[in-house]
Amino acid sequence: MIAQGWLDAQGAPVDPTFKTPAEGAATQVWAATAQLLDGLGGLYCEDCDVAVRAETAEEPFVGVKAYAVDPGEAERLWALSVALTGTEFV
């Protein structure tokens, strides 16, 4: 990662927007424990919150893209997964 310019010689991130391992894990821990999400599924989460649609985000590289929540694309991916694995899920 140093050779690629991601970390400096001391191992610190060069880009201040890079997350530490703890920061990177925080959203998964939050999603697993947040009462806000009780009974919900199929959500995209980001930075310890439910992700906004990328088209409405004020910052670049934030939010979930429209194709990622498209039901038609989900069906196509499911059919491809079944075909590739040979396993039908109910």
Alpha helices by DSSP H, listed for 1-90, are 21-33, 71-85
Residue in the structure block whose two tokens are 């919150």: 49
> Could you read off the pLDDT of 37-79 as tens digits, one per residue?
999 988 999 999 999 999 998 888 899 999 999 999 999 999 9
pTM of the model: 0.67
16's tokens: 């201040």
- What pairs with residue 13 in β-bridges? 7
